[in-house]
Structure 1
């Protein structure tokens, strides 16, 4: 059985297990790169040295996090094939995950956030900035939202996060004002939260949403890299720095493990100095 046939079976199985479209899309990309390197060889002929050769080549040009994704997919893919009896031995059995390099998440300075706010020219820009910052949502979660999902009575919305898990998030009064204004200004009948501005109106893609944030940051003359996930980092960092319990932040972010949330406990600036002087 060649690798492409194995992938078709794997994709079908993971679809039945309700893996998200985004996860399967990412896995498919990983598979394509592996097959391009191994030339769709027979799965039973793949050895640990084939895989290490491929990973060695990848490691030279990837960040640690991206390289970890490569390793994770390969380990999971071949483990699955072996457990289902589709290959005699698991060639990825001795592939080890690279050590995780703990990095402090990058977040926006208060001045940068204000610059973005005052340079919003449309209700769409305002809605995106305020909702991303005050709800701490992932861009994929925004993409899947519909207008009817918003509860303006208690300023909440149910998002579909990683692993197809739902969670309730909340947004600020400022975000509510911008979102209501954005909905009132729209002339289309599309159900989606963020819609393309030109006809034919469709759900705006993730790439287009990123472009809007980039365009806003450029107009605001911001001298740092601004992207949707940095607004999520900013949300989490501000919650922690303002004294929110870590388990509450974990729940708000939809993290499976508390260790993932713990990276936001690195205090900076004035708050860090305050904490130092309190105890020393």
Structure 2
């Protein structure tokens, strides 16, 4: 959420700040300052890979979890971390059950060889996607990105999602794509960027814009009650006018089975 502040700044620096205003993307001095600060702090962006839930349901074979499945030369989690690093997300939290975290740690270690810092958070019992995310309480104090642990998102423009979120006054900004099967996703009713309604996997829908398992958020989202992001938190945020969407022409790829891997490769 945005907050008004008062600052004292050198006149010459102020002139340089004003020169950034292009009246297209950056329309005023406040946006110019925010743009410059975001660029300066970009290397310290935080991302969360959310992979909570029962370990059996997260398996893709007897020996592999979805998040550690081999996709070509890399595992799914390696692809995710490399993609996040390329988009300046260097502080990464991974939330999952103990055995999944152990498997991920065997691959990533502390993240230093990938140019990131990996923080492991153990989920001890199933409490839904919102409950898993709330394990971040006290660990984040600024905007962060959330990516579900079972997707490939190489083609999605994370930077555009992130920039839209930090420019707006929303608690969360969802990545959205068109979906031929709205009953299989969370669908949204949207006006401009504002999400007016969020409904998870409706039986019947004439809306074909769905949630793509990735979103940017503010720490305030951790204070919303409910077990599920999709069934509880997102609908509440939409009702309060605090949920926005960013429409992408590219889609995420879900990896739930070996057949999904074969289709991708």
**Scaled by the length of structure 1, what TM-score is found?**
0.23
Which has the larger helix fraction?
1
Which has the larger strand fraction?
2
Relative contact order, higher structure (CA 8 A, sep 6+):
2
**Scaled by the length of structure 2, what TM-score is found?**
0.24
